[in-house]
Amino acid sequence: MESDLELQRKVMDELAWDPSVDAANIGVSVDSGIVSLNGHVKSFAEKWAAERVAQRVSNVKAVTDELVVNLPGEYQRSDTDIARAAVNSLDWNSLVPRDKIKVLVDNAWITLDGEVEYFYQKEEAECAVRNLLGVRGVTNEIQIKPLVRPSDLRNKIEQALERAAELDAKKISVEANQGKVTLRGKVRSWAERSEAEHAAWAAPGVTNVKNEIRVTAW
């Protein structure tokens, strides 16, 4: 088994390697495979990227992100400017249903609200505003409207897992109830765990995914 010290080094190396992240001000600690990121970054986009970089390192079981966004002076924008940019970005994104999303900006923090039919639409709305200049953070409160019966939902997700080349669907169980999905089982990496969760979110009408899949060596 890889030690926490070895895993810490791998995460630090991966952060230093990724050009979208300035690792100079990011600290990494590891406890039983759980990675904690601390320090500060220059934008919310960089904070988000750092978390994803840590997640993709093999043997990482979970990531806690305690990074603080310290915007340089040239990055700062008024709430009005950020709100205007967010609305325009959502309007120009063909994957986001028009007039379904409301935007609130408070102290450079964006809150998204509204209702959509698919998780990818909720995810795409957040992606549309995440990289805007001056944003300190994003809270996504967009709701997903249930569309299918629980049995149909479970079948659709199980079929999606079986189609995924990197997953052993036999080691993952699916429960569905009123749009809420629970995944259980075990996989070999955090990336596989995330892929299974992504497959579940892709089904129509999924409002919540509880991922209880464990990352473990087989």
pLDDT of 188: 82
Rounded CA separation 132/52 (Å): 18
pLDDT on residue 148? 64
Q: How far apart are CA 210 and CA 86, in angstroms?
A: 29
Question: Which pTM does this prediction carry?
Answer: 0.68
State the pLDDT at residue 206. 84
Indicate the residue type of 87. Answer: V
Side-chain half-sphere of 18: how many Cα atoms within 13 Å?
Answer: 22
In the chain the domains, ranked by start, together with CATH numbers, are 4-69 (3.30.1340.30), 73-144 (3.30.1340.30), 150-215 (3.30.1340.30)
**Quick one: pLDDT at residue 150?**
64
Q: So what's the pLDDT on residue 191?
A: 81
pLDDT score recorded for residue 80 = 96
Q: What's at 77, amino acid-wise? A: R
Cβ atoms of 145 and 122 within 8 Å: the answer is no
- Whole-Å CA distances, 13 to 33, 44, 214: 16, 21, 25
Residue 189 token pair:
């990496």
CB atoms within 10 A of CB 58: 13
Per-residue pLDDT, 49: 94
pLDDT tens digit at each of 218 positions of the chain: 679 999 999 999 999 999 999 999 999 999 999 999 999 999 999 999 999 999 999 889 889 999 999 988 888 899 999 999 999 999 999 999 988 999 999 999 999 999 998 888 999 999 999 999 999 999 999 988 766 666 677 888 888 888 876 777 788 999 988 788 999 998 888 888 888 998 888 887 788 899 999 888 65
